[in-house]
Structure 1
Amino acid sequence: MDRTRVGVWLYGLATIATGLVNIVWLKFEASHQPIAALGHLTSEQVLAGLSGIWLVAAGIALLRRQTAWIGALASALIYIAFALLWVSRYAAMAHAVGVRFDLFVFCLGGAGMQLLLAAPAAVLYAVARTGSLPKGRAMAITRWMLGVPLITFAMGHLINTRGYVRFVPHWVPFGLFFVVLTGIAFLLAGCAILARIRDVLAARMLALMLLLFEFTVEIPPVFSNPHSQGAWGGAIYNLTAIGACWVFAEFAVRHRESRRDINSREQLATVRTGAIV
Protein backbone atom coordinates (compact mmCIF):
# COMPACT_ATOMS: atom_id res chain seq x y z
CA MET A 1 0.00 0.00 0.00
CA ASP A 2 1.24 3.49 -0.81
CA ARG A 3 2.65 4.72 2.49
CA THR A 4 1.10 8.14 2.02
CA ARG A 5 -2.36 6.61 1.75
CA VAL A 6 -2.19 4.91 5.16
CA GLY A 7 -2.43 8.25 6.98
CA VAL A 8 -5.15 9.48 4.62
CA TRP A 9 -7.27 6.38 5.27
CA LEU A 10 -6.81 6.62 9.03
CA TYR A 11 -7.61 10.34 8.99
CA GLY A 12 -10.62 9.86 6.72
CA LEU A 13 -12.09 6.90 8.59
CA ALA A 14 -11.64 8.64 11.94
CA THR A 15 -13.40 11.72 10.55
CA ILE A 16 -16.29 9.48 9.51
CA ALA A 17 -16.35 7.94 12.99
CA THR A 18 -16.46 11.40 14.59
CA GLY A 19 -19.50 12.21 12.49
CA LEU A 20 -21.19 8.94 13.45
CA VAL A 21 -20.73 9.74 17.14
CA ASN A 22 -22.56 13.05 16.65
CA ILE A 23 -25.32 11.33 14.68
CA VAL A 24 -25.83 8.45 17.15
CA TRP A 25 -26.01 10.70 20.23
CA LEU A 26 -27.49 13.72 18.41
CA LYS A 27 -25.24 15.81 20.63
CA PHE A 28 -21.94 17.59 20.23
CA GLU A 29 -19.13 15.85 22.08
CA ALA A 30 -18.48 18.41 24.82
CA SER A 31 -14.79 17.66 25.39
CA HIS A 32 -13.90 18.63 21.82
CA GLN A 33 -16.95 20.47 20.46
CA PRO A 34 -18.08 22.85 23.26
CA ILE A 35 -21.12 24.31 21.57
CA ALA A 36 -22.75 24.70 25.00
CA ALA A 37 -20.56 27.78 25.45
CA LEU A 38 -22.88 29.57 23.00
CA GLY A 39 -25.76 29.17 25.47
CA HIS A 40 -28.88 27.04 25.30
CA LEU A 41 -29.71 26.06 21.73
CA THR A 42 -33.12 24.56 21.03
CA SER A 43 -31.81 23.22 17.73
CA GLU A 44 -28.70 21.49 19.13
CA GLN A 45 -29.91 18.05 18.08
CA VAL A 46 -30.46 19.23 14.51
CA LEU A 47 -27.08 20.96 14.41
CA ALA A 48 -25.36 17.90 15.86
CA GLY A 49 -26.97 15.67 13.25
CA LEU A 50 -26.03 18.04 10.42
CA SER A 51 -22.44 18.31 11.68
CA GLY A 52 -22.30 14.52 11.84
CA ILE A 53 -23.51 14.20 8.25
CA TRP A 54 -20.96 16.84 7.20
CA LEU A 55 -18.12 14.92 8.88
CA VAL A 56 -19.20 11.59 7.38
CA ALA A 57 -19.43 13.12 3.91
CA ALA A 58 -16.04 14.83 4.34
CA GLY A 59 -14.41 11.58 5.43
CA ILE A 60 -15.88 9.62 2.53
CA ALA A 61 -14.72 12.31 0.09
CA LEU A 62 -11.20 12.15 1.53
CA LEU A 63 -10.97 8.44 0.76
CA ARG A 64 -11.63 8.90 -2.96
CA ARG A 65 -8.84 10.44 -5.03
CA GLN A 66 -11.31 12.24 -7.30
CA THR A 67 -13.04 14.02 -4.39
CA ALA A 68 -10.16 14.24 -1.89
CA TRP A 69 -9.84 18.01 -2.34
CA ILE A 70 -13.51 18.46 -1.39
CA GLY A 71 -13.02 16.30 1.68
CA ALA A 72 -9.92 18.28 2.64
CA LEU A 73 -11.81 21.59 2.48
CA ALA A 74 -14.89 20.24 4.25
CA SER A 75 -12.93 18.67 7.10
CA ALA A 76 -10.83 21.81 7.57
CA LEU A 77 -13.91 24.04 7.73
CA ILE A 78 -15.71 22.02 10.39
CA TYR A 79 -12.63 21.41 12.54
CA ILE A 80 -11.81 25.12 12.44
CA ALA A 81 -15.44 25.86 13.39
CA PHE A 82 -15.04 23.56 16.40
CA ALA A 83 -11.81 25.39 17.28
CA LEU A 84 -13.64 28.73 17.29
CA LEU A 85 -16.14 27.35 19.80
CA TRP A 86 -13.31 27.36 22.33
CA VAL A 87 -13.17 31.16 22.09
CA SER A 88 -16.77 31.27 23.34
CA ARG A 89 -15.96 28.71 25.99
CA TYR A 90 -13.12 30.82 27.34
CA ALA A 91 -15.35 33.91 27.38
CA ALA A 92 -17.99 31.97 29.34
CA MET A 93 -15.47 30.59 31.83
CA ALA A 94 -13.78 33.96 32.28
CA HIS A 95 -17.18 35.56 32.93
CA ALA A 96 -17.98 32.91 35.54
CA VAL A 97 -14.70 32.69 37.49
CA GLY A 98 -12.64 35.63 36.22
CA VAL A 99 -9.69 35.97 33.88
CA ARG A 100 -7.17 33.27 34.76
CA PHE A 101 -4.07 32.18 32.89
CA ASP A 102 -4.67 28.47 33.49
CA LEU A 103 -8.16 28.75 31.97
CA PHE A 104 -6.70 30.59 28.99
CA VAL A 105 -4.13 27.82 28.47
CA PHE A 106 -6.85 25.17 28.84
CA CYS A 107 -9.05 26.76 26.17
CA LEU A 108 -6.05 27.46 23.96
CA GLY A 109 -5.24 23.76 24.10
CA GLY A 110 -8.85 22.90 23.28
CA ALA A 111 -8.77 25.11 20.19
CA GLY A 112 -5.39 23.63 19.31
CA MET A 113 -6.84 20.13 19.39
CA GLN A 114 -9.20 21.02 16.57
CA LEU A 115 -6.66 23.03 14.57
CA LEU A 116 -4.36 20.00 14.65
CA LEU A 117 -7.12 17.96 13.00
CA ALA A 118 -7.49 20.62 10.29
CA ALA A 119 -3.73 20.61 9.64
CA PRO A 120 -3.59 17.90 6.91
CA ALA A 121 -6.16 19.71 4.76
CA ALA A 122 -3.61 21.96 3.05
CA VAL A 123 -1.33 19.20 1.80
CA LEU A 124 -4.24 16.92 0.90
CA TYR A 125 -5.81 19.74 -1.13
CA ALA A 126 -2.50 20.60 -2.83
CA VAL A 127 -1.89 16.99 -3.85
CA ALA A 128 -5.47 16.34 -4.96
CA ARG A 129 -5.63 19.53 -7.07
CA THR A 130 -2.23 19.82 -8.66
CA GLY A 131 -1.27 23.43 -9.38
CA SER A 132 -4.01 24.96 -7.22
CA LEU A 133 -1.76 25.48 -4.20
CA PRO A 134 2.05 25.27 -4.25
CA LYS A 135 3.13 22.21 -2.28
CA GLY A 136 5.76 24.21 -0.43
CA ARG A 137 3.14 26.65 0.82
CA ALA A 138 0.78 23.80 1.69
CA MET A 139 3.52 22.14 3.74
CA ALA A 140 4.17 25.42 5.57
CA ILE A 141 0.47 25.80 6.46
CA THR A 142 0.24 22.21 7.67
CA ARG A 143 3.51 22.57 9.61
CA TRP A 144 2.24 25.58 11.59
CA MET A 145 -1.23 24.14 12.18
CA LEU A 146 0.37 20.98 13.54
CA GLY A 147 3.32 22.44 15.43
CA VAL A 148 1.67 25.32 17.30
CA PRO A 149 -1.11 23.18 18.89
CA LEU A 150 1.54 20.79 20.22
CA ILE A 151 3.15 23.66 22.11
CA THR A 152 -0.23 24.59 23.61
CA PHE A 153 -0.64 20.95 24.73
CA ALA A 154 2.78 21.17 26.37
CA MET A 155 1.78 24.35 28.20
CA GLY A 156 -1.34 22.63 29.52
CA HIS A 157 0.56 19.59 30.76
CA LEU A 158 3.30 21.64 32.43
CA ILE A 159 1.04 24.29 33.97
CA ASN A 160 -1.87 22.09 35.07
CA THR A 161 -0.08 18.89 36.07
CA ARG A 162 -2.61 18.08 38.81
CA GLY A 163 -5.47 18.27 36.33
CA TYR A 164 -3.81 15.99 33.77
CA VAL A 165 -2.60 13.40 36.26
CA ARG A 166 -6.14 12.02 36.50
CA PHE A 167 -5.82 10.79 32.91
CA VAL A 168 -2.83 8.60 33.81
CA PRO A 169 -3.97 4.98 34.30
CA HIS A 170 -4.13 4.04 37.98
CA TRP A 171 -1.71 1.15 37.48
CA VAL A 172 1.03 3.50 36.22
CA PRO A 173 3.28 4.73 39.06
CA PHE A 174 4.66 8.27 39.27
CA GLY A 175 1.73 9.85 37.46
CA LEU A 176 3.03 13.41 37.78
CA PHE A 177 6.33 12.37 36.24
CA PHE A 178 4.59 11.01 33.14
CA VAL A 179 2.41 14.12 32.82
CA VAL A 180 5.53 16.31 32.82
CA LEU A 181 7.32 13.91 30.47
CA THR A 182 4.37 14.02 28.07
CA GLY A 183 4.37 17.82 28.19
CA ILE A 184 8.08 17.91 27.36
CA ALA A 185 7.48 15.44 24.50
CA PHE A 186 4.75 17.67 23.06
CA LEU A 187 7.01 20.71 23.39
CA LEU A 188 9.96 19.05 21.66
CA ALA A 189 7.75 17.66 18.88
CA GLY A 190 6.14 21.04 18.26
CA CYS A 191 9.48 22.87 18.18
CA ALA A 192 11.02 20.24 15.88
CA ILE A 193 8.14 20.46 13.42
CA LEU A 194 8.15 24.26 13.37
CA ALA A 195 11.94 24.49 13.10
CA ARG A 196 12.16 21.71 10.47
CA ILE A 197 14.71 19.89 12.61
CA ARG A 198 14.04 16.15 12.51
CA ASP A 199 10.41 17.08 11.90
CA VAL A 200 9.52 13.79 10.21
CA LEU A 201 10.99 11.80 13.09
CA ALA A 202 9.17 14.06 15.56
CA ALA A 203 5.82 13.51 13.80
CA ARG A 204 6.33 9.75 13.69
CA MET A 205 7.35 9.58 17.34
CA LEU A 206 4.35 11.73 18.22
CA ALA A 207 2.07 9.34 16.34
CA LEU A 208 3.63 6.43 18.25
CA MET A 209 3.08 8.21 21.59
CA LEU A 210 -0.55 8.89 20.72
CA LEU A 211 -0.97 5.25 19.70
CA LEU A 212 0.29 4.19 23.15
CA PHE A 213 -2.19 6.62 24.70
CA GLU A 214 -4.93 5.08 22.57
CA PHE A 215 -4.45 1.64 24.12
CA THR A 216 -3.65 2.73 27.67
CA VAL A 217 -5.84 5.81 28.18
CA GLU A 218 -8.53 6.12 25.50
CA ILE A 219 -9.78 2.62 24.71
CA PRO A 220 -10.33 1.27 28.27
CA PRO A 221 -13.12 3.82 29.03
CA VAL A 222 -14.91 2.74 25.84
CA PHE A 223 -15.14 -0.81 27.18
CA SER A 224 -15.93 0.18 30.77
CA ASN A 225 -18.58 2.73 29.72
CA PRO A 226 -19.68 1.98 26.14
CA HIS A 227 -22.66 4.34 26.36
CA SER A 228 -20.47 7.38 27.05
CA GLN A 229 -20.18 9.76 24.10
CA GLY A 230 -17.13 11.32 25.74
CA ALA A 231 -15.28 8.00 25.88
CA TRP A 232 -15.93 7.31 22.20
CA GLY A 233 -15.12 10.90 21.26
CA GLY A 234 -11.76 10.82 23.04
CA ALA A 235 -10.70 7.55 21.45
CA ILE A 236 -11.72 8.65 17.96
CA TYR A 237 -10.13 12.08 18.36
CA ASN A 238 -6.84 10.40 19.21
CA LEU A 239 -7.02 8.24 16.08
CA THR A 240 -7.73 11.30 13.94
CA ALA A 241 -4.70 13.04 15.45
CA ILE A 242 -2.53 10.00 14.69
CA GLY A 243 -3.74 10.16 11.09
CA ALA A 244 -2.91 13.87 10.92
CA CYS A 245 0.65 13.24 12.18
CA TRP A 246 1.10 10.39 9.71
CA VAL A 247 -0.12 12.48 6.79
CA PHE A 248 2.31 15.26 7.67
CA ALA A 249 5.29 12.91 8.08
CA GLU A 250 4.78 11.00 4.87
CA PHE A 251 3.99 14.03 2.74
CA ALA A 252 7.04 15.82 4.18
CA VAL A 253 9.20 12.90 3.05
CA ARG A 254 7.51 12.84 -0.34
CA HIS A 255 7.91 16.61 -0.77
CA ARG A 256 11.61 16.50 0.03
CA GLU A 257 12.19 13.59 -2.33
CA SER A 258 10.42 15.54 -5.07
CA ARG A 259 12.56 18.62 -4.41
CA ARG A 260 15.74 16.55 -4.49
CA ASP A 261 14.70 15.04 -7.82
CA ILE A 262 14.04 18.52 -9.25
CA ASN A 263 17.39 19.82 -7.98
CA SER A 264 19.18 16.79 -9.41
CA ARG A 265 17.58 17.31 -12.82
CA GLU A 266 18.43 21.02 -12.76
CA GLN A 267 22.06 20.27 -11.87
CA LEU A 268 22.26 17.63 -14.59
CA ALA A 269 20.81 20.07 -17.13
CA THR A 270 23.32 22.71 -16.06
CA VAL A 271 26.20 20.27 -16.48
CA ARG A 272 25.00 19.19 -19.91
CA THR A 273 24.57 22.81 -21.02
CA GLY A 274 28.07 23.63 -19.85
CA ALA A 275 29.48 20.61 -21.66
CA ILE A 276 27.78 21.64 -24.90
CA VAL A 277 29.07 25.19 -24.61
Structure 2
Amino acid sequence: MKVGVWFYGLGTALTGILDIAWGAFDASHQPIKFLGISLPAQHILAYVAGVWLVAAGLAILWRRTARIGAATSAAVYLIFVAFWLSRYYAGIHSLGWRIDVLFGVTFGLAQQLMLVAPAAIVYASTASSDSLLQKRAAIAARWMLGLPPIIFGLFHLIGLRVFASIVPHWMSFGYFWAALTGIAFILAGVAICSGIKDVLAARLLALMLLLFEFLVEIPPIFTRLHNQRTWGAAVYNLAAIGACLIFAEFLASRADRGRIGPTGDAAMSRPDPLVA
Protein backbone atom coordinates (compact mmCIF):
# COMPACT_ATOMS: atom_id res chain seq x y z
CA MET A 1 0.00 0.00 0.00
CA LYS A 2 2.98 2.32 0.33
CA VAL A 3 2.83 3.54 -3.26
CA GLY A 4 -0.88 4.26 -2.98
CA VAL A 5 -0.44 6.05 0.34
CA TRP A 6 2.27 8.27 -1.14
CA PHE A 7 0.06 9.20 -4.09
CA TYR A 8 -2.86 9.90 -1.78
CA GLY A 9 -0.87 11.77 0.85
CA LEU A 10 0.99 13.95 -1.64
CA GLY A 11 -2.23 14.66 -3.56
CA THR A 12 -3.91 15.76 -0.33
CA ALA A 13 -0.96 17.92 0.76
CA LEU A 14 -0.64 19.55 -2.66
CA THR A 15 -4.36 20.36 -2.63
CA GLY A 16 -3.75 22.25 0.60
CA ILE A 17 -0.76 24.05 -0.88
CA LEU A 18 -2.92 25.25 -3.77
CA ASP A 19 -5.54 26.62 -1.35
CA ILE A 20 -2.81 28.48 0.51
CA ALA A 21 -1.08 29.74 -2.65
CA TRP A 22 -4.31 31.17 -4.11
CA GLY A 23 -5.88 32.12 -0.78
CA ALA A 24 -9.09 30.60 -2.14
CA PHE A 25 -10.93 27.33 -2.45
CA ASP A 26 -10.87 25.39 -5.70
CA ALA A 27 -14.47 25.88 -6.83
CA SER A 28 -14.44 22.75 -8.97
CA HIS A 29 -13.71 20.54 -5.95
CA GLN A 30 -14.40 22.64 -2.85
CA PRO A 31 -17.62 24.60 -3.50
CA ILE A 32 -17.73 26.69 -0.34
CA LYS A 33 -20.18 29.08 -1.97
CA PHE A 34 -22.74 26.31 -1.89
CA LEU A 35 -25.62 28.61 -0.98
CA GLY A 36 -24.58 31.47 -3.21
CA ILE A 37 -23.50 33.45 -0.17
CA SER A 38 -20.25 35.41 -0.15
CA LEU A 39 -18.73 34.51 3.20
CA PRO A 40 -16.57 37.13 4.92
CA ALA A 41 -12.87 36.41 5.30
CA GLN A 42 -13.19 33.50 2.91
CA HIS A 43 -9.46 33.63 2.23
CA ILE A 44 -8.80 32.90 5.91
CA LEU A 45 -10.99 29.79 5.69
CA ALA A 46 -9.00 28.78 2.61
CA TYR A 47 -5.74 29.13 4.54
CA VAL A 48 -7.15 27.06 7.41
CA ALA A 49 -8.34 24.34 5.04
CA GLY A 50 -5.01 24.46 3.23
CA VAL A 51 -2.98 23.97 6.41
CA TRP A 52 -5.37 21.19 7.44
CA LEU A 53 -4.94 19.38 4.13
CA VAL A 54 -1.14 19.76 4.15
CA ALA A 55 -0.90 18.45 7.70
CA ALA A 56 -3.26 15.55 7.01
CA GLY A 57 -1.52 14.61 3.77
CA LEU A 58 1.94 14.62 5.32
CA ALA A 59 0.81 12.81 8.48
CA ILE A 60 -0.62 9.87 6.54
CA LEU A 61 2.78 9.24 4.93
CA TRP A 62 4.42 8.11 8.18
CA ARG A 63 3.39 5.03 10.11
CA ARG A 64 3.35 6.68 13.54
CA THR A 65 1.02 9.45 12.41
CA ALA A 66 -0.86 7.54 9.69
CA ARG A 67 -3.98 7.01 11.78
CA ILE A 68 -4.44 10.64 12.72
CA GLY A 69 -3.58 11.65 9.16
CA ALA A 70 -6.26 9.30 7.83
CA ALA A 71 -8.85 10.60 10.30
CA THR A 72 -8.16 14.25 9.48
CA SER A 73 -8.12 13.53 5.73
CA ALA A 74 -11.48 11.78 5.94
CA ALA A 75 -12.90 14.66 7.97
CA VAL A 76 -11.90 17.39 5.52
CA TYR A 77 -13.08 15.43 2.48
CA LEU A 78 -16.40 14.74 4.22
CA ILE A 79 -16.78 18.50 4.72
CA PHE A 80 -16.34 18.96 0.98
CA VAL A 81 -18.92 16.20 0.44
CA ALA A 82 -21.32 18.22 2.61
CA PHE A 83 -20.65 21.29 0.44
CA TRP A 84 -21.66 19.32 -2.65
CA LEU A 85 -24.77 17.95 -0.96
CA SER A 86 -25.84 21.51 -0.24
CA ARG A 87 -25.35 22.40 -3.88
CA TYR A 88 -28.30 20.20 -4.79
CA TYR A 89 -30.52 22.79 -3.14
CA ALA A 90 -28.67 25.75 -4.64
CA GLY A 91 -28.56 24.26 -8.14
CA ILE A 92 -32.21 23.21 -8.22
CA HIS A 93 -33.31 26.47 -6.63
CA SER A 94 -31.57 28.61 -9.26
CA LEU A 95 -31.74 26.39 -12.37
CA GLY A 96 -34.65 24.05 -11.71
CA TRP A 97 -34.88 20.28 -11.95
CA ARG A 98 -32.46 19.66 -14.78
CA ILE A 99 -30.64 16.41 -15.41
CA ASP A 100 -27.38 18.20 -16.21
CA VAL A 101 -27.55 20.08 -12.91
CA LEU A 102 -28.22 16.90 -10.91
CA PHE A 103 -25.46 14.98 -12.66
CA GLY A 104 -23.02 17.88 -12.37
CA VAL A 105 -23.47 18.12 -8.61
CA THR A 106 -23.41 14.34 -8.23
CA PHE A 107 -20.16 14.26 -10.20
CA GLY A 108 -18.52 16.73 -7.80
CA LEU A 109 -19.88 14.90 -4.77
CA ALA A 110 -18.57 11.58 -6.08
CA GLN A 111 -15.09 13.03 -6.58
CA GLN A 112 -14.79 13.93 -2.91
CA LEU A 113 -16.52 10.79 -1.63
CA MET A 114 -13.97 8.70 -3.49
CA LEU A 115 -11.19 10.28 -1.42
CA VAL A 116 -12.83 9.33 1.88
CA ALA A 117 -12.48 5.61 1.07
CA PRO A 118 -8.67 5.28 1.33
CA ALA A 119 -8.62 7.32 4.54
CA ALA A 120 -11.09 4.85 6.06
CA ILE A 121 -8.90 1.91 5.00
CA VAL A 122 -5.67 3.40 6.33
CA TYR A 123 -7.36 4.33 9.61
CA ALA A 124 -8.78 0.85 10.08
CA SER A 125 -5.54 -0.83 9.05
CA THR A 126 -3.79 0.55 12.11
CA ALA A 127 -6.23 -1.29 14.37
CA SER A 128 -5.65 -4.89 15.45
CA SER A 129 -5.75 -7.40 12.62
CA ASP A 130 -8.92 -9.07 13.90
CA SER A 131 -10.75 -5.80 14.48
CA LEU A 132 -14.34 -5.49 13.34
CA LEU A 133 -13.38 -1.95 12.37
CA GLN A 134 -11.34 -3.27 9.43
CA LYS A 135 -14.30 -5.23 8.12
CA ARG A 136 -16.68 -2.30 8.36
CA ALA A 137 -14.15 0.11 6.84
CA ALA A 138 -13.56 -2.27 3.92
CA ILE A 139 -17.29 -2.54 3.19
CA ALA A 140 -17.75 1.24 3.36
CA ALA A 141 -14.63 1.86 1.26
CA ARG A 142 -15.81 -0.58 -1.42
CA TRP A 143 -18.99 1.42 -2.01
CA MET A 144 -17.38 4.83 -1.61
CA LEU A 145 -14.73 3.87 -4.16
CA GLY A 146 -16.97 1.82 -6.44
CA LEU A 147 -19.94 4.13 -6.96
CA PRO A 148 -17.97 7.25 -8.08
CA PRO A 149 -16.48 5.61 -11.21
CA ILE A 150 -19.98 4.57 -12.27
CA ILE A 151 -21.09 8.20 -11.92
CA PHE A 152 -17.99 9.40 -13.80
CA GLY A 153 -18.72 6.94 -16.60
CA LEU A 154 -22.35 7.98 -16.94
CA PHE A 155 -21.30 11.61 -16.95
CA HIS A 156 -18.79 10.87 -19.72
CA LEU A 157 -21.47 9.25 -21.85
CA ILE A 158 -24.04 11.98 -21.22
CA GLY A 159 -21.54 14.78 -21.87
CA LEU A 160 -19.75 12.99 -24.69
CA ARG A 161 -19.14 16.17 -26.69
CA VAL A 162 -17.56 17.95 -23.73
CA PHE A 163 -15.22 15.10 -22.86
CA ALA A 164 -14.33 14.51 -26.51
CA SER A 165 -13.11 18.11 -26.65
CA ILE A 166 -10.49 17.52 -23.93
CA VAL A 167 -8.98 14.49 -25.65
CA PRO A 168 -5.48 15.53 -26.82
CA HIS A 169 -5.59 16.90 -30.36
CA TRP A 170 -2.90 14.51 -31.55
CA MET A 171 -5.21 11.60 -30.68
CA SER A 172 -7.81 11.08 -33.37
CA PHE A 173 -11.40 9.93 -32.76
CA GLY A 174 -12.10 12.04 -29.67
CA TYR A 175 -15.68 10.76 -29.34
CA PHE A 176 -14.44 7.18 -29.39
CA TRP A 177 -11.92 7.76 -26.59
CA ALA A 178 -14.44 9.70 -24.50
CA ALA A 179 -17.00 6.89 -24.86
CA LEU A 180 -14.39 4.20 -24.19
CA THR A 181 -13.22 5.84 -20.96
CA GLY A 182 -16.84 6.28 -19.87
CA ILE A 183 -17.51 2.58 -20.37
CA ALA A 184 -14.23 1.71 -18.62
CA PHE A 185 -15.25 3.82 -15.61
CA ILE A 186 -18.60 2.06 -15.38
CA LEU A 187 -17.12 -1.42 -15.68
CA ALA A 188 -14.49 -0.66 -13.03
CA GLY A 189 -17.11 0.69 -10.65
CA VAL A 190 -19.40 -2.31 -11.12
CA ALA A 191 -16.49 -4.71 -10.55
CA ILE A 192 -15.45 -2.94 -7.35
CA CYS A 193 -19.00 -2.77 -5.96
CA SER A 194 -19.78 -6.38 -6.83
CA GLY A 195 -16.47 -7.79 -5.63
CA ILE A 196 -15.90 -9.55 -8.97
CA LYS A 197 -12.31 -8.98 -10.16
CA ASP A 198 -12.27 -5.97 -7.87
CA VAL A 199 -8.52 -5.92 -7.26
CA LEU A 200 -7.81 -6.02 -10.99
CA ALA A 201 -10.46 -3.35 -11.63
CA ALA A 202 -9.00 -1.00 -9.00
CA ARG A 203 -5.49 -1.43 -10.40
CA LEU A 204 -6.62 -0.86 -13.98
CA LEU A 205 -8.59 2.19 -12.84
CA ALA A 206 -5.45 3.56 -11.21
CA LEU A 207 -3.53 2.93 -14.43
CA MET A 208 -6.18 4.74 -16.49
CA LEU A 209 -6.09 7.73 -14.13
CA LEU A 210 -2.29 7.74 -14.33
CA LEU A 211 -2.54 7.95 -18.12
CA PHE A 212 -5.05 10.79 -17.74
CA GLU A 213 -2.54 12.60 -15.54
CA PHE A 214 0.10 12.72 -18.27
CA LEU A 215 -2.20 13.04 -21.29
CA VAL A 216 -5.00 15.30 -20.04
CA GLU A 217 -4.28 16.89 -16.66
CA ILE A 218 -0.64 18.02 -16.75
CA PRO A 219 -0.35 19.54 -20.28
CA PRO A 220 -2.89 22.38 -19.67
CA ILE A 221 -0.87 23.56 -16.68
CA PHE A 222 1.86 24.86 -18.99
CA THR A 223 -0.60 27.13 -20.81
CA ARG A 224 -2.66 28.12 -17.74
CA LEU A 225 -0.09 28.46 -14.98
CA HIS A 226 -2.21 30.89 -12.98
CA ASN A 227 -5.42 28.86 -13.09
CA GLN A 228 -6.17 27.14 -9.78
CA ARG A 229 -8.73 24.78 -11.31
CA THR A 230 -6.18 23.45 -13.80
CA TRP A 231 -3.70 22.70 -11.03
CA GLY A 232 -6.49 21.35 -8.84
CA ALA A 233 -7.58 18.82 -11.45
CA ALA A 234 -4.05 17.43 -11.78
CA VAL A 235 -3.54 17.26 -8.03
CA TYR A 236 -6.94 15.67 -7.40
CA ASN A 237 -6.07 12.97 -9.91
CA LEU A 238 -2.96 12.05 -7.90
CA ALA A 239 -5.05 11.50 -4.77
CA ALA A 240 -7.58 9.45 -6.76
CA ILE A 241 -4.79 7.21 -8.12
CA GLY A 242 -3.66 6.66 -4.55
CA ALA A 243 -7.22 5.80 -3.50
CA CYS A 244 -7.45 3.04 -6.12
CA LEU A 245 -4.05 1.59 -5.24
CA ILE A 246 -4.72 1.60 -1.50
CA PHE A 247 -8.01 -0.22 -2.00
CA ALA A 248 -6.51 -2.77 -4.39
CA GLU A 249 -3.56 -3.60 -2.13
CA PHE A 250 -5.78 -3.74 0.94
CA LEU A 251 -7.93 -6.43 -0.68
CA ALA A 252 -4.95 -8.26 -2.15
CA SER A 253 -3.39 -8.49 1.33
CA ARG A 254 -6.28 -10.30 3.00
CA ALA A 255 -5.87 -13.92 1.86
CA ASP A 256 -5.07 -15.63 5.11
CA ARG A 257 -8.11 -14.35 6.92
CA GLY A 258 -10.54 -13.92 4.10
CA ARG A 259 -11.47 -11.12 1.84
CA ILE A 260 -14.38 -8.82 2.60
CA GLY A 261 -17.08 -8.75 -0.02
CA PRO A 262 -19.62 -6.04 -0.83
CA THR A 263 -22.06 -7.16 1.87
CA GLY A 264 -19.53 -8.09 4.51
CA ASP A 265 -19.23 -11.77 3.71
CA ALA A 266 -15.74 -13.24 3.77
CA ALA A 267 -14.18 -15.64 1.31
CA MET A 268 -10.80 -17.22 1.94
CA SER A 269 -8.52 -16.01 -0.79
CA ARG A 270 -5.77 -13.42 -0.32
CA PRO A 271 -2.92 -12.49 2.11
CA ASP A 272 -3.47 -10.70 5.39
CA PRO A 273 -3.73 -7.15 6.61
CA LEU A 274 -2.03 -4.10 5.55
CA VAL A 275 -0.34 -1.26 7.17
CA ALA A 276 1.15 1.54 5.16
Q: Same fold (TM over 0.5)?
A: yes
TM normalised by structure 2 equals 0.89
Partner of 1:41: 39
Distance in 1 separating the partners of 2:96 and 2:169: 33
Describe how 1:125-164 pairs up with structure 2 within 5 A: 125-130=123-128, 133-164=132-163
Partner of 1:61: 59
Residue 176 of structure 1 and its aligned partner are, at CA, apart by: 1.5
> What is the letter of the counterpart of residue 8 of structure 1?
V
Distance in 2 separating the partners of 1:149 and 1:16: 22
Percent identity over the alignment is: 53
Q: Which structure has more RCO (C-alpha within 8 Å, separation ≥ 6)? A: 2
Partner of 2:28: 31
Distance in 2 separating the partners of 1:89 and 1:134: 32
Match of 1:81 among 64, 79, 82: 79
Distance in 1 separating the partners of 2:195 and 2:184: 16
Select the structure of larger CA radius of gyration: 1
Task: Indicate if the aligned counterparts of 1:126 and 1:133 stay in contact, CA closer than 8 A.
Answer: no
Query: Is the partner of 2:253 in helix, strand or coil?
Result: helix
Query: Is the partner of 2:28 in helix, strand or coil?
Result: coil
Residue 263 of structure 1 and its aligned partner are, at CA, apart by: 6.3
Partner of 1:71: 69
Larger displacement relative to structure 2 (158-167 or 42-51): 158-167
Task: Indicate if the aligned counterparts of 1:123 and 1:135 stay in contact, CA closer than 8 A.
Answer: yes
Residue 36 of structure 1 and its aligned partner are, at CA, apart by: 2.0
The alignment covers a number of residue pairs equal to 260
Residue 91 of structure 1 and its aligned partner are, at CA, apart by: 2.3
Structure 1 position 112 matched with structure 2 position 143: no
Larger displacement relative to structure 2 (111-120 or 166-175): 166-175
> What is the letter of the counterpart of residue 233 of structure 1?
G
Distance in 1 separating the partners of 2:250 and 2:111: 21
Partner of 1:98: 96
Partner of 2:244: 245
Structure 1 position 236 matched with structure 2 position 235: yes
Task: Indicate if the aligned counterparts of 2:256 and 2:268 stay in contact, CA closer than 8 A.
Answer: no
Describe how 1:11-30 pairs up with structure 2 within 5 A: 11-30=8-27
Residue 227 of structure 1 and its aligned partner are, at CA, apart by: 1.5
Distance in 1 separating the partners of 2:219 and 2:188: 26
Task: Indicate if the aligned counterparts of 1:69 and 1:125 stay in contact, CA closer than 8 A.
Answer: yes
TM normalised by structure 1 equals 0.89
Distance in 1 separating the partners of 2:40 and 2:131: 41
Alignment root-mean-square deviation, CA: 1.8
Distance in 2 separating the partners of 1:173 and 1:35: 38
Residue 257 of structure 1 and its aligned partner are, at CA, apart by: 4.2
More helix by share: 1
Residue 163 of structure 1 and its aligned partner are, at CA, apart by: 2.6
Task: Indicate if the aligned counterparts of 1:135 and 1:255 stay in contact, CA closer than 8 A.
Answer: no
Residue 167 of structure 1 and its aligned partner are, at CA, apart by: 2.0
CA distance change for structure 1 residues 226 and 102 in 2, over 3 Å: closer, same or farther?
A: same
Describe how 1:194-209 pairs up with structure 2 within 5 A: 194-209=193-208
Q: Where in structure 1 are there 5+ consecutive unaligned residues? A: 265-277
Larger displacement relative to structure 2 (145-154 or 249-258): 249-258
Query: Is the partner of 2:60 in helix, strand or coil?
Result: helix
Distance in 2 separating the partners of 1:32 and 1:110: 6
Moved over 6 A (4+): none
Distance in 1 separating the partners of 2:193 and 2:246: 16
Query: Is the partner of 2:218 in helix, strand or coil?
Result: helix
- Over residues 208-248 of structure 1, what are the superposed CA-to-partner deviations in whole Å (9 max), with x where a residue is unaligned? 10011000110011112211111110000001000000000
CA distance change for structure 1 residues 92 and 120 in 2, over 3 Å: closer, same or farther?
A: same
Distance in 2 separating the partners of 1:63 and 1:209: 24
Partner of 2:272: none
Task: Indicate if the aligned counterparts of 2:127 and 2:133 stay in contact, CA closer than 8 A.
Answer: no
Distance in 1 separating the partners of 2:94 and 2:170: 36
> What is the letter of the counterpart of residue 28 of structure 2?
S
